Amino acid sequence: MALDLILRNACIGAAEPQIVDIAVAGGRIVDIASGIAAEAPEEDIDGRLVVAGFVETHIHLDKSCILDRCKSQRGTLAEAIAEVAAAKRAFSEEDIYQRARSTLERAILQGTMRMRTHVEVDPRIGLKGFSAIRRLKQEYAWAIDVEICVFPQEGLLNDPGTEELLVAACEQGADLIGGCPYTDSDPHGQIARIFAMARQFDRDIDFHLDFDIDPSRMDLEEVCRCTKAAGWGGRVTVGHVTKLSAIRPERFAAIATRLADTGVAVTVLPATDLFLMGRDHDHDVPRGVAAAHRLLDHGVVCSIASNNVLNPFTPFGDCSLIRMANLYANVAQIGRPSELASCLDMVTALPAKLMNLRNYGIAIGNPADFVVLDCTDRAGAVAEIVRPLFGMKNGRRTFVCPPARLLRGE
């Protein structure tokens, strides 16, 4: 078979790193071995680390880049929801499309190749966000696989007309259904309705859940109960769960075991959680980030994700998942190389598992999706927030990012 490319001297492998050549033909990986002898265009990457693209499980493209339209003062979750709800009334499909496109392009340039984006649906915005993101999903399929999770940010049972719109979005191809019980007048009622719709349309579920640091009341147990009852293990994710940062180790361990046994995955969103939590403290501010690396120890599937970019929930953002992994490691006080490497897993292989992606990874037969990082080891990638040098999707180059260099005397 004629090869399209041989990537020489790539560092791959999690438990045991190895230096190999990767052969690409017809957009797929057709061989992985040392010293592949064949005539083909080559690129020697000199032992640099290769990952199969970063995997973003939780980002809101539709409400990114709106800081100039909002005037947040307190920095609380309630204020962020209210500010965006007000700004959203002026969104048009074209406006959403333009902002989301710039955020999506930024994510591609940071090496993200798979993405789950949450999209708000309610009677004010209708399906404008969904339609805009669906266009982008198609137009950028050459560089990134996007799945759309429609959800009721401002509540479901308290917001008549929303359920019909969620159903319409599912009928028009929404990939997942999401929930946000903490904004609902009846959180458990919402959880029940979301599971009912998921079963009706055979969709995975992704909840925004338990998003404060008061652990006296949690919806997590109800989500686990419904997951088990529906037989939806491995198909449910909960995001934020910042309440897990506020409980003692014994209760944390019991909940972690329950999550692992039930097949409920967890996404932590460090930039948003750090920005919004603990606002009623004027000193010793709690960090409010769930200990994902400890959940991993119990067998829970976890990812680290971006959530929001340049809006009242998170007035920061460059869409870099390697930076997000570093931020998590820093705030979680992680420094050991094996734990730093597991932070890389939480933006690559683990989110791929969370999203039930069946063709992810550097393996023969998989799509030739690569991101080459300017480093030679996994812990270093996280510790140093290394830059991706270039990326390939289905065997085609999708971006380049040449390394910065000094111009001494030039």
In order, the DSSP letters of 22-59 are EEEETTEEEEEESS----S-EEE-TT-EEES-EEEEEE
CB 118 to Zn ion: min, Å: 5
Phi, psi of 377 (to 5 degrees): -145, 160
Here the tokens at position 403 are 């390394």
CB 178 to Zn ion: min, Å: 8
User: Residue for token digits 């969104």?
Assistant: 91
Nearer to Zn ion, 307 or 311 (CB): 307
Instruction: Output the residue with the shortest Cβ distance to Zn ion.
Output: 307
Here the tokens at position 397 are 């180059």
Nearer to Zn ion, 132 or 271 (CB): 271
Nearer to Zn ion, 110 or 307 (CB): 307
CB 225 to Zn ion: min, Å: 23
- Is the CB of residue 292 less than 8 Å from the CB of residue 302? yes
Reduced to 3 states, what is the DSSP secondary structure of residue 402? coil
Nearer to Zn ion, 190 or 307 (CB): 307
CB 265 to Zn ion: min, Å: 15
CB 149 to Zn ion: min, Å: 9
Nearer to Zn ion, 91 or 370 (CB): 91
Nearer to Zn ion, 103 or 307 (CB): 307
CB 138 to Zn ion: min, Å: 23
Nearest to 157 by CA among 148, 166, 146: 166
Burial 168-206 (b: 16+ CB within 10 A, else e): ebbeeebbbbbbbbbbbeebeebbbbbbebbeeeebbbb
Which amino acid does the sequence have at 401? Answer: C
**Rounded distance, CA 20 to CA 35, Å?**
7
CB 379 to Zn ion: min, Å: 28
Nearer to Zn ion, 62 or 159 (CB): 62
CB 86 to Zn ion: min, Å: 18
Here the tokens at position 7 are 């990537």
CB 238 to Zn ion: min, Å: 11
**H or E element: which one contains 119?**
strand 112-120
Nearer to Zn ion, 190 or 398 (CB): 190
| Cα separations in angstroms, 307 against 35, 36, 64, 302 | 41, 41, 9, 15
User: Residue for token digits 């078979």?
Assistant: 1
**Rounded distance, CA 199 to CA 311, Å?**
33
Total count of residues recorded for the chain: 410
Helix axes 337-345, 321-331, angle to 10 degrees: 140
CB 222 to Zn ion: min, Å: 19
Nearer to Zn ion, 78 or 363 (CB): 78
**Rounded distance, CA 124 to CA 81, Å?**
14
Nearer to Zn ion, 268 or 371 (CB): 268
Here the tokens at position 89 are 């009334």
CB 269 to Zn ion: min, Å: 7
Contacts of 162 (CB under 8 A, 6+ apart): 121, 122, 123, 152, 154, 155, 156
Nearer to Zn ion, 110 or 267 (CB): 267
Which residues form the interface with Zn ion (CB under 5 A)?
307
**Rounded distance, CA 94 to CA 55, Å?**
26
Nearest to 76 by CA among 250, 254, 285: 285
